[in-house]
């Protein structure tokens, strides 16, 4: 039998992951708006929808909302840690490389 946590000790949850294959995936070309209010991170993912080509005019289109995700601070921190791990793995495999900014202060005045 587990002992109850002492006051001030955080409760340790043990959650079992359950896949739900009926939930469809959403594709996004980019992350549009991002807003953090101190409690939750709100992200809006967008997909590019191109208009019919009309040569010789340049291509035109619209960035359309594909999904909105709201995640609390602990979930955001978990997401950041997992993305950092993924980036490190991709760098190790040579899929990404770290680009260093040019030396010297080259910011516009």
pLDDT, residue 92, reads 92
Determine how β-strand 30-36 pairs with β-strand 61-72. unpaired
CA-CA distance, 106 to 93, in Å (whole number)?
A: 32
Considering the domain boundaries, does residue 105 fall inside one?
Answer: no
Question: Residue 5 falls within a domain, yes or no?
Answer: no
Query: Which of helix, strand or coil describes residue 17?
Result: coil
Q: Is 58 a domain residue?
A: yes
Domain that holds residue 74: 30-92
Residue 109 lies in a domain: no
User: Does a structural domain hold residue 75?
Assistant: yes
Cis peptide before 40 (omega within 30 of 0): no
- How many domains does the structure of the chain reveal? 1
- Under a CB-based contact definition with an 8 Å cutoff, are residues 18 and 48 in contact? no
Chain segment 76-86, per-residue pLDDT in tens: 999 999 999 99
Q: How confident is the model at residue 98 (pLDDT cuts 50, 70, 90)?
A: confident
40 has which bridge partners? 72
Has this prediction a pTM greater than 0.75?
Answer: no
Domain-located, residue 71 = yes
The count of other CB atoms within 10 Å of the CB of residue 63 is: 13
- Residue 81 covered by a domain: yes
The token pair at 61 is: 């289109």
Residue 11 forms part of a structural domain: no
């Amino acid at each position: 039998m587990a002992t109850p946590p002492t006051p001030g000790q955080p409760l340790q949850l043990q959650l079992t992951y359950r896949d739900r294959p009926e939930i469809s995936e959403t594709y996004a070309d980019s992350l549009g708006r991002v807003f953090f209010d101190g409690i939750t991170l709100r992200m809006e993912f967008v997909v590019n929808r191109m208009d019919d080509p009309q040569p010789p005019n340049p291509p035109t289109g619209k960035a359309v909302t594909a999904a909105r995700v709201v995640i609390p601070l602990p979930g955001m921190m978990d997401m950041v840690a997992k993305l950092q791990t993924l980036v490190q793995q991709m760098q190790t495999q040579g899929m990404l490389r770290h680009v260093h900014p040019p030396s010297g202060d080259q910011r516009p005045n």
